[in-house]
Amino acid sequence: MNKLISQALVAALTLMLSFSGLHAAEESTEDMTRLLKLRLGTDQVEPATPTGVEGVYVTRFGNKFAYLIEGGRYVFIGDLVDLQQAQNLTEMSRRELVVSELAGFSEEKRIIFPADKEELAVLSVFTDTSCGYCQQLHKEVRFLQEAGISVHYYPFPRGGNRGPGYRDLKKVWCAEDKQKAMSIAKGAETGSLPSSETCDSANYVDDGYLLGNRIGISGTPSMYTSDGTKFNGYVPYQQLIPQLINQ
């Protein structure tokens, strides 16, 4: 009987220590961002999580990734690269963030130009009607569609609600035929935009601007593949198609 009681006590003590250790680890991880929040002057900092590198934890504020060491006393901001595996771990995190954020912007909020045949790839584009390179890209969308690439447009008025394309983007998103309105706004077709810019869908323009800021967009067009890889600026369709199809 005494032996059974002793075994039970040992098991209970072991379980208590396990929970205690887990709770202490959670508290330690949560406390790790305290100094960073203090220096940044904001609580909008993600909880720290292990990176897989001993003693190094990663956190995020906005679209920036930061790495904490020594319990959060020291921080470095930049790219963490695994030289042995030849992998940019920070870039992988950025892509995961982009994929997650884009997925949260439902298709009803986007303007989609679907592939003409079997869809082989999706190109997500943050666009502004007043942007010259956005207009050039739009004139080439038909070539992308013919190649089996669907183009998903997200609104991003440069300069926010004071940007030159803000009102036109709202008119495009208010149009009954949004594809045609997009083509008219970008000079690919003739016609007039709707006069209304106060419909329910107009709010998607503001949503798109906030989304773009969360993932670090500073200009248009900003283009992403389905795995979150970013193209920096306009890319001619002759170069864009093989990169998308062969990714």
Homologous superfamily, domain 102-245: Glutaredoxin (3.40.30.10)
Q: How much is the pTM?
A: 0.83
* Per-residue confidence in pLDDT tens, the chain, 247 aa: 444 334 433 333 232 323 333 333 444 566 899 999 999 999 999 999 999 899 999 999 988 999 999 999 999 999 999 999 999 999 999 999 999 999 999 999 999 999 998 999 999 999 999 999 999 999 999 999 999 999 999 999 998 999 889 999 999 999 999 999 999 999 999 999 988 888 999 999 999 999 999 999 989 999 999 999 999 889 999 999 999 998 7
Give whole-number Cα distances, 38 to 3, 72, 214, in Å: 53, 12, 21
Looking at the DSSP bridge assignments, the partners of residue 65 are: 60
Domain residue limits, the chain: 2-88, 102-245
